[in-house]
A and B are shown apart, each in its own frame.
Chain A
Amino acid sequence: MDINIKNLVKDFGSKRAVDIDRYTVKSGEMIGLVGNNGAGKTTLFRLILDLLKRDEGDITIGEWSVNETELWKNYTGTFIDDSFLIDYLTPEEFFYFVGKMYNISKSSIDEKLEKFTRFMNDEVMDTKKLIRNFSAGNKQKIGIIAAMLHDPKLLILDEPFNFLDPTSQSVIKHMLKDYNEKTGATIIISSHNLNHTVDICKRIALLEHGKIIRDIDNSDYSAGKELEDYFEVKE
């Protein structure tokens, strides 16, 4: 599913948070969005998801302009932060709730959840715990799984490696790559973890002060050096 961004501008008071002339994500691409704090990554995600009013410009997902119709929501999965979780439900209840929103039966949800068994690591299901009582890492897992339950054609994840233990980080990396290769879904992730981003994303957008200043081809997974130079990562 393509994403087209044209002349997108978002200001917060006098500060320009996002300013993108033109950017296209082609169907099936896996994009990593990197940039320092305040670069505008989360703001850009919120604009794409029509959760923030843009001052200028246009965003389309597939054939739909995001602010004119809600049809794109059927094909999009996303997890940005805790405000995407209904924290007084148990994980199972939340997954069934999300399933119902996409007309997926409980038995299908149970089947789909099996794919995430390793990622959940026996810490999420059958605990009789409400989501609000889980650790930040497990909340992150619940959010990511919920975003992927309906097999979205577009998956947007903000900092998916945050709070996760090393094993889970490795699992989610492989899971996202597999999902992209097997389903042809478009995936956009933002991350401060350059290694993980370089490992799985074939294209990397570098954001600074709301502008995409570099669009790096990482098809041979060699963008690490360029990113390290930009971020002045030193041994």
Chain B
Amino acid sequence: MLLSIIRKNDKLAAKRNPSFERNRFAKFIIYFMVAFWAAYLIFIGITLALGLKEGIQNMEPYHVFNQFIIYLLFADFLLRFMGQPATSQEIKPYLLFPIKKNKLIDTFLLQSGLSIFNLFWFFLVLPFAVITIPETYGFWGVILYLFGMWLLFIMNNYWYQICKTLLRQKTIYLLLPAAVYGSILAVDLLPKTNYFGRFTMNLGEGFIEGNIIAFIGVISVILLLFIINRYMQIYLMYKELGKVEDSNIKRVSQFKFLDRYGEVGEFMRLELKLCLRNKAVKHQVRMGFIIMLAFSFVLAFTDVYNGTGMSRFICIYNYAILSVMTLGQIMSFEGNYIDGLLCRRTSIFNLLLAKFYVNCFILLIPFAFMMIPVYKGKIDLLMAFAYMLFTAGVVFALLMQYAVYNKKTIALNATIMRSNRGSSFFQTIVICCALFLPIIFNSLLSSLFSDETTYIIMLITGAIFILTHRIWIKNIYTRMMARKFENLEGFRETR
């Protein structure tokens, strides 16, 4: 009874998520991605089965496959972090009902064990099993193998629940999965060991043969993890409920140098604090920086991207990536406090200006890194400079158009998967244009002019847009205000 209510509520929560319910394009993208991954895993499953059948003569394909089960479980473990909440996070709304806490925890744990997500990897395992097992063990072999694999994923689910719950308490608990997977990898990498590979190979074969010890073994581990989870959830429940994140900040940064820039400076300060103090934004910016720095280093210190075309692509991408991640969501975070901003005159215009300036300033970082390949003679200084100006002018002007149409709030502190993201059609178009237009423009110019002329044209185009930024930002602001009510309604509904 309780289990079916919780399952029903879970389904409704997913179905009635505002970004999903109100955004047909996001709905399409989600279905498309699920279908894509399903098809991709099925393809891998089939290819792997056929490949191993033909490629390895002295071993059965499932013997080879089963040696890597531990890695499959590791991938499953990581994937769960993308979207699966800890039981302790979900329990709160039910605590005031006249239900015993233990029963509630048991039900939630049972629910996570029975979750359809535990069958996700069957897209890969099922076709593989169907192709490779029946020859020797028939249909029952397949059924028993799939049942065993399902048990393994349930086991992994409870292992994940333990790690996730502990990690919500302290980051230091990251050492637990790191130690476990690190040890496995270390043992596996030692020559002539492969203990885990051999163990999982035998376990897999045990499943296929219907070896009762194999099943009892896994079920025992599941029960053990279930009990550990149970005690841990009870113990940590009140800590979780009373949890206040970042209750005090250690140092209040004022960025006093921005004082001299008036209201725009104040918004630039706000932009910096937005990036530094909110989990969702911080994560996004950090990811952008990591990708940007990675490309910069690759371009600077390796010979991977030595061709002109590839260097150009990486160079442009390097400038655009962070702004695509930030300006590509423009106004979504402000949606949380947009009413307050709109009650003050012209503040949104200054906010847009501040966003433009901050992003322009950030472009100096990849430009600085670009000086290394310039020094090494891998790319032209003119090219690096022209692309920077083109990004600041044209690409930013493009990306910021989304401010006119964006009406979706993203929670400031939710994790990526729980922060109500999901692309709208216009957002996808804008981001695609921002990423590919410079390449197309560059290629077009290159086909007509010399490289030097191409860069000069790009530089001038970018400079014109930069110099006229107040005009086009004013235009964006005016169009935003014309759609103000529609956008406000959207922001409120998605909060």
Q: Which residues of A contact B (CB under 8 A)?
A: 49-53, 70-71, 73-74, 76, 78, 80-81, 83-90, 92-93, 97-98, 100-102, 127-130, 132-133
B340 and A85 within 8 A (CB): yes
A70 and B345 within 8 A (CB): yes
Name the segment of B203-211, B272-280, B466-474 touching the other chain.
Answer: B272-280
- Determine the interface band of chain B, counting residues with CB < 8 A from chain A: 20 to 34
Residue of B nearest to A80 (CB): B339
B336 and A130 within 8 A (CB): no
A84 and B344 within 8 A (CB): no
Docked Cα-Cα span, A129 to B248, in Å, equals 5
Q: Which residues of B contact A (CB under 8 A)?
A: 244-250, 252, 262-263, 266, 270, 273-274, 277-278, 336-340, 342-347, 412-413, 485, 488, 492, 495
Q: Whole-angstrom distance from the CB of B128 to the nearest CB of chain A?
A: 48
Closest 4 CB pairs of A and B: A53-B485, A84-B340, A70-B345, A73-B345
**Could you say which of B263, B340, B345 has the most chain A C-beta atoms within 10 Å of its C-beta?**
B340
Q: Which residues of A contact B342 (CB under 8 A)?
A: 50-51
**9 A-B contacts, Cβ less than 8 Å apart?**
A51-B339, A52-B485, A74-B345, A83-B339, A86-B340, A87-B412, A90-B249, A92-B252, A129-B249
B246 and A130 within 8 A (CB): yes
Q: Which residues of B contact A81 (CB under 8 A)?
A: 339
Docked Cα-Cα span, A49 to B338, in Å, equals 13
Q: Which residues of B contact A133 (CB under 8 A)?
A: 244-248
Q: Which residues of A contact B270 (CB under 8 A)?
A: 86, 89, 97
Residue of B nearest to A78 (CB): B343
Residue of B nearest to A86 (CB): B337
Docked Cα-Cα span, A16 to B225, in Å, equals 55
Docked Cα-Cα span, A83 to B338, in Å, equals 7
Docked Cα-Cα span, A98 to B252, in Å, equals 18
Docked Cα-Cα span, A96 to B13, in Å, equals 39
Q: Which residues of B contact A97 (CB under 8 A)?
A: 266, 270
Docked Cα-Cα span, A89 to B272, in Å, equals 11
Q: Which residues of A contact B337 (CB under 8 A)?
A: 83-87
Docked Cα-Cα span, A100 to B337, in Å, equals 17
A93 and B346 within 8 A (CB): no
Q: Whole-angstrom distance from the CB of A131 to the nearest CB of chain B?
A: 10
Q: Which residues of A contact B492 (CB under 8 A)?
A: 83
Docked Cα-Cα span, A78 to B272, in Å, equals 26
Q: Which residues of A contact B249 (CB under 8 A)?
A: 90, 128-130
A83 and B495 within 8 A (CB): yes
Docked Cα-Cα span, A78 to B341, in Å, equals 11
**Could you say which of B249, B343, B345 has the most chain A C-beta atoms within 10 Å of its C-beta?**
B343
Docked Cα-Cα span, A71 to B344, in Å, equals 9
